[in-house]
Chain A
Amino acid sequence: MNLIVAILSGAVVYAVSVLYAGIGETFTERSGVMNLGVEGIMLMGAMSGCVTAFHTRNLALAMLIVILTGAVLGLIFAFLTVTLQSDQTVCGMAMLILGTGLSGFLGEDIASKPINLKFTKIPLPVLSEIPIIGDILFNQNLLVYIMYLLLPLATFYIYKTRWGLKLRALGENPAVLDAAGENVFAMRYGYIVFGTTMMAISGAFVSLAQTNVWQEGMTAGKGWIAFALVAFSSWNPATLALGALLFGFISNLGSNLQIYLPGVPTEIFSAMPYVATIVVLIISTGNFRKKHTAEPAALAKAYDRESR
């Protein structure tokens, strides 16, 4: 039983570490903009959080700086892709390279140094007493609890509110919104900045909650996993959470199977999460299931009033 609790609570932590970025990317892509720079922005978030925490010993301030870092990067990306209408794939790659390099450069002084200030686990009163579930879900850190609130809110926002309707229209056909008198550019700016802010928080989760250190390139591909999960989830935050949990569950399981199933090459377990992703991707987006995909029709297309 302890084993199951350990695997599942590990899966929750893993899921949350990619969910912030995943939700950010979902909103960005729903607005018709593809941001490939997730990994770079996560690294900037991870670095800025650690640097601030290291120098000020103030976690709240660190998170504020993380959010600002994300927002500034978002503004740059939005300026390039919305105002200047540059190619989103190229700009995304530029953000990726910029974030990876700049975070390494700015974080050099505190690389590998102990921060000793992190989001520790806070068992929630009453809820954490529930057998099994309490240990899995309610003995986590603050950022995990915030995600519990954020996830239903994000889903509700997209599917049940007027703003969500506009957001979906923005990704499908921005011209219609423009004709209806909505400010397409301002909305895209807003969602891009929201997205990059969330990505930066994901990075800070890795460096200030999961571990407590800054090292160059420490997110080690999580940004890409978040990016892939968005397509995998059909741009739906609830499905996104399931995907992230599945991924976290399988990679935690693999570690345990090494011990409990000796004799099987460990590379098979290490490859499992990726194999599972491919299988689920085929099932969820394969041609045989439905002709219509949930991909926003205007995704990765710059909106230009003059060329409608």
Chain B
Amino acid sequence: MKKLLSLLLVGVMVLSLVACGTKDKDDTSKGKGTKDVSELVIGELHYSVVEDGGWAQAMHEGIVKACKTLGIDTEKQLLTRENISEEDIALVESTVEELVDNGADIIFGCSAGYATILAEIQPDYPDVIFAQQGNDVYDNIVEFQIRGYEGEFLAGYLCALLNQGSNELGFCASMDEASVRTALNGFALGAKYANPEAKVQVIWADSWYDLDIESTNAETLINKGIKYMGMEASSPAIPQKCEEKGAYCIGYNIDMEANAPKAVLTSFVWNWAPIFEDIMKKTAEGTMKNSANYYEGGECAQLADFNDELVSEDIQERVNELKDKVAKGEVVIYGGELKDDKGNVLVAAGQTMSDEDILAQEFFVENVVGGK
């Protein structure tokens, strides 16, 4: 019996080897830049599952949306690989190899941590475009980033407008890191634009994901008398705490209104689809340059639909007006004069901060209270 079983297993293994072999042969017909865009095969790498209710989900939805617009069949031509740890170099490498074997034309690294590995293995796959979320660091992979501060600027503006009779706003932050500072500083600048006296009290979870600490922090702010807050967190714990205590907040990553309909005014959402669409189109045309870099604002850094129950039409209009002004360049978010929370001048009057400094975020703007 055992012998029979092992023979059978060997047989299966041999067969599977043969199967792999034939597939490889098919793939050699693939050349660079000769495809119709709807024939592209897309691979995506995620550090978590795509239904994480946050970062990964926004990325995945962006890719799906771009695929649908371009007529790419997401059932067959979108290869999603979840739980690929950024620390596990061997796993990332073997997953990339497997994606390429399955015909991937573009591989999206959906978390900053993949950059080093992808840049290193890119030369082994010259026909594949590697697109990676991150700042402009490498020349051989496409990098993309969203000007998240634009959306947070509007969020802070909205909260300060609603916060009648008080200058104090709150912000629940996760870890002290550039992307979190981007959100916090953007929010504070927006609040200041609406009300020059507005202060934003930040409170840190010192953790990327901890429901207890997140909701405790929200409660602490509410107990201090704060009614409106922004957040940089991945769970709906903060909106739910706000709802319970009669306070209001701006959701983050995805539209959180349904999770706490009595508390979420709107949400900051990542809209990656326009960037992905462009990368896909150029890849199909054969004009995608490996050294390309995207740093997009506008429609990419949006607020979700307003909660009509909580935000009056008049206020909605004012926020939308500001949005247009930012888009037209009439309002420059990181324009001078801008001071940090210690009183040092970051940007002199009449000047604008460089993208490099905006990306690095090595400061807290002057109306942030409780920065590190």
Chain A residues close to B by CB (< 8 Å): 2-3, 6, 10, 14, 17, 104, 108-109, 111-114, 121, 206, 210-213, 215-218, 220, 222, 251-252, 255-256, 258-259, 262, 265-267, 270
Contacts and interface: CB of A to CB of B under 8 A. Distances in A.
Contacts of A256: 220, 223
A112 B51 contact: yes
Contacts of B237: 210-211, 213
Contact of B203 (A104, A109, A255): A255
B52 A215 contact: yes
A267 B224 CA distance: 21
Contacts of B258: 113-114
Contact of B209 (A2, A6, A220, A270): A220
B204 A111 contact: no
Interface string B196-214: 0000010111110111110
Chain B contact patch, size range: 35 or more
B219 interface: yes
Given A210-B211, A215-B235, A251-B213, A111 B224 contact: no
A215 B48 CA distance: 11
20 contacts: A6-B219, A14-B212, A111-B52, A112-B51, A112-B236, A113-B258, A211-B235, A213-B237, A215-B52, A215-B234, A215-B235, A216-B48, A216-B49, A220-B207, A220-B210, A255-B216, A255-B220, A256-B220, A258-B370, A259-B220
Given A2-B223, A212-B236, A259-B203, 9 more contacts: A6-B220, A114-B258, A211-B236, A211-B237, A215-B234, A218-B235, A255-B203, A256-B220, A266-B206
B372 to A, nearest CB: 7
Interface string B35-55: 000000000000011011110
Contacts of A220: 207, 209-212
A211 B215 contact: yes
A270 B207 contact: yes
Contacts of A265: 372
A270 B204 CA distance: 9
B51 A108 contact: yes
Interface string B243-270: 0100000000010001110000000000
B369 interface: yes
Contacts of B205: 270
A267 B345 CA distance: 28
B203 A112 contact: no
B163 interface: no
A112 B53 contact: yes
Given A10-B216, A210-B212, A251-B212, A259 B201 contact: yes
